[in-house]
Structure 1
Amino acid sequence: MAKATKKQALGRGLSALLKDPENDIQSVSDKNADQVIGNVVELDIQSIEVNPFQPRSNFNDEALTELASSIRELGIIQPITVRKLDFNKFQLVSGERRFRASKLVGLETIPAYIRIANDQESLEMALVENIQRQDLDPIEIALSYQRLIDEIEITQEKLSDRVGKKRSTITNYLRLLKLDPIIQTGMRDGFISMGHGRALINIDKKKEQIAIYEKVVSDGLSVRDTEKLVKSLKEPQGSDSEKKKDTKAAPEYVTNGLKAIKDHLAAKVDITTSSNGKGKIVIPFHSEEEFKRIKKILTGD
């Protein structure tokens, strides 16, 4: 208990240091910066503004109330992270749920780690930390990945290293943004899962996407059932004999090698063959970046 009290008192002492105009810390090289940066400081909650780069836009009211109740009883267990904007003015980098819940409880101060960062660094820190630590829905994660790619000008390969996810995983999330907004909202609200969304992406026409989405929700279809439904709609219309003929036209060496090609490219690959042994490989792409990625894998530059 004495150790916790000492730490809290230290935080209040550092807070007083930050409120001294003669010790306004603007960079890591400033006097007393080493005492503040990276340490837990008790900050006035009114001196902190919400991060405009925050990827999370949905906050469950019930979960927020439960967190507020926990904070009322036990206090803040994990400090939030902020960046210094100006004299006694800070901006959230991560921990918005804790920040919101603390305001609900009526706390006047909140423990925080302080960083000094520019807008781009703040954006990257906020997005990466939230992707890794927060329970974002699939669309929020996809939007976070897209913002990192667009605003920080980072490739999917580098993003993969930055967030510790496979590049194919990032691609699968980004593809969700091609769904109709109605379906994206349904995923964010929990009516369908990411697995449902990945199946619906294979339907090109938005009207058909929505029609299948409505059937999935109304009938409570599983991901597997949804995949079967989508597959049945995409299969070419024709006689059973024609379908059997098409199936037989693909030699065993083609069907055996198809998975290896897909895994290597981390992309959808279509192969068609004819009875004379000829065939073609079709590799669809959904953006300029994806085309360049596939080209790099195939050509090496």
Structure 2
Amino acid sequence: MALAKKQAMGRGLSALLKDPENDIKSVSDKNADKVVGNIIELEIDAIEINPFQPRTNFNEESLQELATSIRELGVIQPITVRKMDFNKYQLISGERRLRASKIVGLKTVPAYIRLADDNESLTMALVENIQRHDLDPIEIALSYQRLMDEIQLTQEQVSDRVGKKRSTVANYMRLLKLDPIIQTGIRDGFISMGHGRAIINVDDHDAQTEIYQKIVSQNLSVRETEALVKAYHEGTPEKPTTIKTSGGAFEVDTEDKKTFNEYFGTKVDVKVAANGKGKITIPFHSEEDFNRIIKLIKG
């Protein structure tokens, strides 16, 4: 009932915001106390996506489920925006709710309005998303890095802002030292953050990717990965691992990988899952490079 009353008030306040004579730009402006921090029904077309949004992946199935919920119950939790120009707003948090509302076809959405500069907006967007959404480990690490680089926070200050131990923040940020192929593997769910934390103890990126390919092809656990890294540092020969599955999984030979790399003139990523299925990823760096690879494939 309380939420319904607030949203009813919000519909009245939305008319106030459309009056050019009440263009609120700071907390000292007339009627600012009626707008800032209140829930107001905003036209979706007046809201732009926050360029500081750390989330880059949105699960389509999850969005559809949220859209179904919004269609039946409405937007239960308002989004948060900051006022830009007259009747123009920028999203701070709640992009999933905004996207789902668009899927449903809503014209307006309940929103908290704040006045904030870019630094405040970035901090709020990063902190709120880290705390309230299921970002993958790499997205979280990038968010921490941006708080340090763009807001000039120390690791200690970041840990205070997000309510995490400094060691936790440090462990996430260390993932950014992994080879980009491995970072992508974590984001795509081929390996876990635990695997990544084990691999990061290897400085050489080529060695990292070889270990990563073994993890994926042999379906190694985190503990087995740690043993593999330890063997690498000690220079001891690896014991061959045989996987018995109906799919007939196998390990791609190092020489075969080199053949791919030499033929295509780039670092080719070969992944083999425990069931014997896999994929070959051939990266390219420009349209010209793409066309070069196409010509090689066509012969």
Instruction: Give the alignment of 1:108-257 within 5 angstroms.
Output: 108-236=107-235
CA distance in 2, matches of 1:122, 1:74: 29
Which letter maps to 1:61? E
**Partner in structure 2 of residue 25 of structure 1:** 24
Give the secondary structure class of the aligned counterpart of 1:86: coil
CA–CA distance in structure 2, aligned partners of residues 171 and 11 of structure 1: 42
Distance 1:18 1:169, change over 3 A: same
Q: Structure 2: how far apart are the matches of 1:72 and 1:219?
A: 44
The structural deviation recorded for 1:117 is 0.3
Whole-angstrom distance in 2 between the partners of 1:8 and 1:159: 34
Which letter does structure 2 place at the counterpart of 1:215? K
Percent of residue pairs bearing the same amino acid type:
75
The one-character-per-residue Cα deviations of 1:253-292 (angstroms, maximum 9, x if unpaired) are: xxxxxxxxxxxxxxxxxxxxxxxxxxxxxxxxxxxxxxxx
Tell me the TM-score normalised to structure 2 length: 0.77
Q: 2 CA distance for matches of 1:4 and 1:231?
A: 57
Alignment coverage as a number of residue pairs: 237
Matches of 1:144 and 1:221 in 2, distance apart? 29
Q: Aligned AA for 1:10?
A: M
User: Which residue number corresponds to residue 270 of structure 1?
Assistant: none
- Deviation track 1:22-50 (CA, whole Å, cap 9, x = no partner) reads 00000011000001111100000000000
Tell me how far apart the structure 1 counterparts of residues 235 and 220 of structure 2 sit (CA, whole Å): 23
TM, length-normalised to structure 1: 0.77
- 1:4 CA displacement: 4.7
Structure 2 Cα separation of the partners of residues 4 and 161 of structure 1:
31
Aligned position for 1:50: 49
Which secondary structure does the structure 2 equivalent of 1:87 belong to?
coil
Match of 2:278?
A: none
Q: Unmatched 5+ residue regions in structure 2?
A: 238-299
Cα deviation code 1:64-115 (max 9, x no counterpart): 1111111111110100000000100000000000011111111000000000
For 1:53-132, list aligned pairs within 5 A: 53-132=52-131
Map of 1:267 onto structure 2: none
User: Amino acid of the residue matched to residue 131 of structure 1?
Assistant: I
Show structure 1 runs of 5+ residues with no match.
Answer: 239-301
How many angstroms does 1:8 deviate by?
2.3
**Larger Rg over CA atoms:** 1
CA RMSD, Structure 1 to Structure 2 (Å) = 1.2
